[in-house]
Amino acid sequence: MIIGVLTVELALFEAQSLKDKRRVIQSVKQRMRNVFNVSVAEVEHGDSPRRCRLGIALVCNEARPVHAQLDKIVELLRGVAGLTLLDYERQLL
């Protein structure tokens, strides 16, 4: 069993309040859950309206599909309007 963990650091430069941030982040989280069947949680910067760190996890029986899915998630995040991907780190356990 392979567990893939992706941690992403995001910036929401246009968000003026936590409500703005929550709207964008909830939409992105739901999209990732629906498309990639992953678990997603905000793990840091919960009180900052312009920063967010998400933890994303998925389980598979081989490493290759895990790498492919995590790459697709990074590409999805790069394409979201109003969101800037600052950094990401992935791990396989």
Domains in the chain, CATH or no CATH each: 2-92 (3.30.70.1120)
Q: What is the pTM of this model?
A: 0.87
The mean pLDDT value of the chain amounts to: 92
Query: What are the start-end ranges of the E strands in the chain?
Result: 2-11, 39-44, 51-60, 84-92
Which H helix or E strand runs over 38? none
Considering only CA atoms, which of 54, 43, 39 is closest in space to residue 85? 54
pLDDT class for 45, splitting at 50, 70, 90?
Answer: confident
pLDDT at 71 over 90: yes
Q: Which pLDDT score, from 0 to 100, does residue 34 have?
A: 94
